[in-house]
Structure 1
Amino acid sequence: METKTTDYVYEDVSYVENADASRRFIANVFVWMFVALGLSAVCSYIFAFNPELSSLLRDPATGRNNIMGTVVMFSPLIFVLLFRVGFNKLPFIGLVLMFVAFSALMGISLSYIFFAYSVGTISSVFITTAVVFGVMAVGGYITHQDLTKFGSIMIMLLVGIIIASVLNLLILHSSGLDLIISYVGVAVFVGLTAYDVQKLKRIGAGLEYGDATASKMAIMGALTLYLDFINLFLMLLRVFGGNRR
């Protein structure tokens, strides 16, 4: 689930006051994002292929989540809400520890995909996601087109996807609608990637690199791009990972 972590308002994101500061800020954001993705990948793999750890989350006989598995699955959503509260109240190191814990829990909660899809499918979709994400991130960074209004449209579509997904899960149970949601979700998170990178570029230009605010904003920016990447990966997996185990 994608979330916005700041309410930064600006008029023209194509104008950058301090391009050098912006580049350093964006680089810091991506470093933290890569750390989070790496930690999530390791935790996901370990909890999927270590029987003892896997049994903590799922019943080995039925493959269904137990109470602990359900808690772990929904805990990342709680962390996202806590980030909003903790940004102003926690020191930088506290925010980092929460970010690391969130990344680990997200990875553990994603370990279920190894039971639904083959390793080959997951690997190929992950590589595809990385390429698409990278292209859109570069596009969002170098474009001179203001994506503010475009981003607002993407956020509205995201809300629609969430509502449609909940209705389909609880009431409709339509595989066709699920596929449509996945296609729309791919488009939304592709668009949000470009929008968020451009937004972070502008934010970074207005911060003094190295102070506490910039460091904490880098963590929040990494969280936003991490969520864009994970959601894009899951949507692409639903679209192209049709051959389930």
Structure 2
Amino acid sequence: MKMNSLSQEVRARRLKAFVAPDSIISLRAYNTILTGVVMYGLLINVLLCRESVVNFVFTKMNPIMFFVIYFVCAAGGIMLAQKSSNALISFIGYNMVVVPMGIAVAVAVLMGGFDPSVVSHAIITTAGVTVIMVAAGILFPQFFARIGSILFFGLVGVLVGFLVSIFLPGVHLAMTVLSAGLFSLYIGYDVYRSQQFPRTVDNAVDCAIDIYLDIINLFLDLLRIFGNSKKN
């Protein structure tokens, strides 16, 4: 689920922070770096999606220990990026999120018994939704400016719904569909939000973390939805 790299407090501080004029880059350069960092993270995930990686997790490591390390690294990476104003340190934090997330995605894809056509369908749909929502986040800023709190409470509701689905498995698919819709909107929202910060390299990297996590969560939701449809 979503782990937001920029808390409300940090977000407000960054919006008001003094930024040296020589650290401001052009809008084109800012968005190019932002896009490049997101694409880098997704490429790392593709490269990690190998049976050898999954076999290593299950033969050389205790799977429970792996997921403990995953959460520690991801949380540590987010905190590192959040507290740093240095682009290189933020990028290191980004990699601390991307690498364990990539391994977790590899486990989900390769151990989940998904048909290759289901995986391809999920990838193509995720790419299409991402392009649409990125455009929406840029073209309709006023809309996304109004829905931040709605998305937050929606996320809380989905988390509660997934907990309920442990005892009522019948609602799990409905929660997954709602989660996919929520993360689709989060892509647009985080793209909108990225355009509100001072255009620095560090802010581009920090915002890329949120957008990357939105895309990965959307992909995993779509994978479960399409996988369920294939089974039925």
**Common fold by TM > 0.5:** yes
Bigger mean CA deviation after superposition, 21-30 or 87-96: 87-96
Change (3 A) 1:168 1:67: farther
Q: CA deviation at 1:153?
A: 0.5
Structure 1 partner of 2:132: 135
Structure 1 counterpart of 2:211, from 218, 225, 232: 225
Report the secondary structure of 2:203's partner residue.
helix
Question: Quick check: 2:5–2:79 contact (8 Å CA) kept in 1?
Answer: no
Q: Extract unaligned runs of 5+ from structure 2.
A: 14-24
Among all aligned residue pairs of Structure 1 and Structure 2, give the percentage whose two residues are the same amino acid: 20
Question: Quick check: 2:126–2:222 contact (8 Å CA) kept in 1?
Answer: yes
- TM-score under structure 1 length normalisation: 0.77
Cα distance in structure 1, aligned partners of 2:195 and 2:216: 21
Cα distance in structure 2, aligned partners of 1:173 and 1:144: 38
Change (3 A) 1:84 1:58: closer
Cα distance in structure 2, aligned partners of 1:201 and 1:238: 32
Structure 2 counterpart of 1:78, from 72, 76, 83: 72
Letter in 2 for 1:131: G
- The answer to whether residue 94 in structure 2 is matched with residue 99 in structure 1 is yes
Structure 2 partner of 1:111: 106
Question: Quick check: 1:5–1:84 contact (8 Å CA) kept in 2?
Answer: yes
Structure 2 partner of 1:235: 221
Question: Quick check: 1:125–1:233 contact (8 Å CA) kept in 2?
Answer: yes
Structure 2 partner of 1:56: 56
Q: CA deviation at 1:123?
A: 1.3
Letter in 2 for 1:233: F
Structure 2 counterpart of 1:180, from 174, 178, 185: 174
CA RMSD of aligned residues (A): 2.4
Cα distance in structure 1, aligned partners of 2:57 and 2:163: 23
Q: Extract unaligned runs of 5+ from structure 1.
A: 11-19, 60-65, 208-213
Change (3 A) 1:36 1:217: same
Q: CA deviation at 1:21?
A: 3.2
Letter in 2 for 1:218: A
Q: CA deviation at 1:2?
A: 1.3
Measured against aligned partners, the alpha-carbon deviations of 1:115-144 in whole angstroms (never above 9, x if no partner) come to 220222111111111101110111111225
Cα distance in structure 1, aligned partners of 2:46 and 2:168: 30
Structure 2 partner of 1:13: none
Q: CA deviation at 1:91?
A: 4.1
Q: Which has the higher contact order (CA 8 A, sep 6+)?
A: 1
- The answer to whether residue 14 in structure 2 is matched with residue 37 in structure 1 is no
Letter in 2 for 1:143: F
- TM-score under structure 2 length normalisation: 0.81
Question: Quick check: 1:92–1:216 contact (8 Å CA) kept in 2?
Answer: yes
Structure 1 partner of 2:27: 22
Letter in 2 for 1:187: G
Runs (4+) off by over 6 Å? none
Cα distance in structure 2, aligned partners of 1:91 and 1:76: 24
Q: CA deviation at 1:90?
A: 7.5
Which structure has more helix as a fraction of its residues?
2
What does residue range 207-226 of structure 1 map to in structure 2 within 5 Å? 207=199, 214-226=200-212
Q: CA deviation at 1:194?
A: 0.9
Structure 2 partner of 1:69: 63
Structure 1 counterpart of 2:154, from 154, 157, 180: 157
